[in-house]
Amino acid sequence: MSPLDLLDVDASLGEEERQIRAVVRQLVDDRVRPHVAGWYEDGQVPARELAREFGKLGLLGMHLTGYGCAGASAVAYGLACLELEAGDSGVRSLVSVQGSLAMYAIWRFGSEEQKQRWLPAMAAGEAIGCFGLTEPDHGSDPASMTTRARRDGDDWILNGAKMWITNAPIADVGVVWARTDEGVRGFAVPMDTPGVTAREIRRKMSLRASLTGEIALDDVRLPADARLPEAIGLKAPLSCLTEARHGIVWGALGAARDCLETALSYATTRTQFGRPLAGFQLTQAKLADMAVEWNKGLLLALHLGRLADAGKLRPEQVSVGKLNNVREALAIARECRTILGANGVSGEYPVMRHANNLESVLTYEGTSEIHQLVIGQRLTGLSAFA
């Protein structure tokens, strides 16, 4: 048992859940940890190669059913996200965007033809998806999107731009959301369609082991069957975000755990003033406080996962998890950095990389402020978004 499992949470997991966790942890140990510092420093990641390896293990869309998807539980998916993000947030983002955003949107709102065309290849990692909702001028306010889709005979013509889109530079299909005369609608857009341009965003200080892009849509002509027939209104993309946020509730704990394990190992082996750092009261106080918050976050994630498996998880409950766990994970990463001292900023240790990544995780899939307003609306019955 991990020394961080102060509350014996592991005993609440089923055997299959522990087995899935072990398989993903081994994959991360073998395939991610030896290389991720270099990927981060270079700003490059072999995303297609990783996607195929993840696909072989059934990690892509693993909580979906049919079409080559594993049909795993929400808790098993959460544990996989935790282990992936213990390697790097960017690696977890690859899996999360593929499965919980792009694949889920097609699985939930697409036609049978769209599902058959895309989902088996995406589950295998042979096709990469992205999710185009955020725009250059509209991040937290998707209702103000300016990307437009208009009818032209039986076709649709799309114009607009999407920004900060994970996987966009290598995606084969983009789930793009646009405003129409009938309201917001979703489209499965083959990324090689004339008029579609994906440009990689470089010079990031965070999520450097992840491919992020901007999508430009210039008179993109799509056939009528490119529209996701069941995606009607803004609730459709927001439900996809809820799906992805559940993975983040777990994933952030993986980054925090890796920081904590690093700090604990460092503190017990690093000697200052004639004894290990872990023997000083201030260091133990830091470790104790962080371990308490990590365990609380894990209990929260497990509770939300069980609710999801029972079909009872509500969006504001996911907001509680995303707000708390990412906020606490970032605080843990920063505190662990102080235990490592100057070594905490070195790429030889993962702590600063995790801290930088978590700055992005704090913002995407809903900022902390947005989740506070979701929770506030639930508490008061009043919307404070505008």
Residue 116 pLDDT > 80, yes or no? yes
Structural domains in the chain, CATH included, are 9-124 (1.10.540.10), 129-232 (2.40.110.10), 235-380 (1.20.140.10)
Helix (H), strand (E) counts: the chain: 12, 12
Alpha helices in 57-103 (DSSP H): 74-87, 89-96
Confidence of residue 386 (pLDDT cuts 50, 70, 90): confident
For residue 336, CA distances in Å to 219, 256, 263, 279, 358 come to 50, 9, 6, 16, 14
pLDDT of residue 342: 97
Task: Give the C-alpha separation, 371 to 323, whole Å.
Answer: 6
pLDDT of residue 82: 98
What is residue 101's DSSP assignment? Answer: I
Residue 1 pLDDT > 70, yes or no? no
pLDDT in tens, 16-68: 999 999 999 999 999 999 999 999 999 999 999 999 999 999 999 999 999 99
Residue 368 pLDDT > 70, yes or no? yes
Task: Give the C-alpha separation, 308 to 292, whole Å.
Answer: 24
89, 167 contact by CB (below 8 A): no
Residue 89 pLDDT > 70, yes or no? yes
- What average pLDDT does range 94-123 have in this prediction? 98
pLDDT in tens, 270-316: 999 999 999 999 999 999 999 999 999 999 999 999 999 999 999 99
pLDDT of residue 124: 98
283, 267 contact by CB (below 8 A): yes
pTM of this structure = 0.96
386 or 140: which leads in pLDDT: 140
pLDDT of residue 2: 83
Task: Give the C-alpha separation, 31 to 71, whole Å.
Answer: 24
String of DSSP letters for 145-205: ---EEEEETTEEEEEEEEEEEETGGG-SEEEEEEEETTEEEEEEEETTSTTEEEEE----S
Widest Cα–Cα separation across the chain: 80
Task: Give the C-alpha separation, 247 to 78, whole Å.
Answer: 5
pLDDT of residue 36: 98
- What average pLDDT does range 83-112 have in this prediction? 98
pLDDT in tens, 206-246: 999 999 999 999 999 999 999 999 999 999 999 999 999 99
pLDDT of residue 281: 98
pLDDT in tens, 136-174: 999 899 999 999 999 999 999 999 999 999 999 999 999
- What average pLDDT does range 349-367 have in this prediction? 97
H helix or E strand, kind and range, residue 132 = strand 129-132
pLDDT of residue 155: 97
Contacts (Cβ under 8 Å, ≥6 apart) of 15: none
Task: Give the C-alpha separation, 247 to 59, whole Å.
Answer: 12
String of DSSP letters for 332-376: HHHHHHHHHGGGGGSTTSSHHHHHHHHHHHHHTTS-HHHHHHHHH
- Per 3-state DSSP, the chain is made up of helix, strand and coil in percentages (nearest 5) of 55, 20, 25
pLDDT in tens, 317-339: 999 999 999 999 999 999 999 99
Write out the catalytic residue numbers. Answer: 365
- Look-up: residue for tokens 């098993």? 76
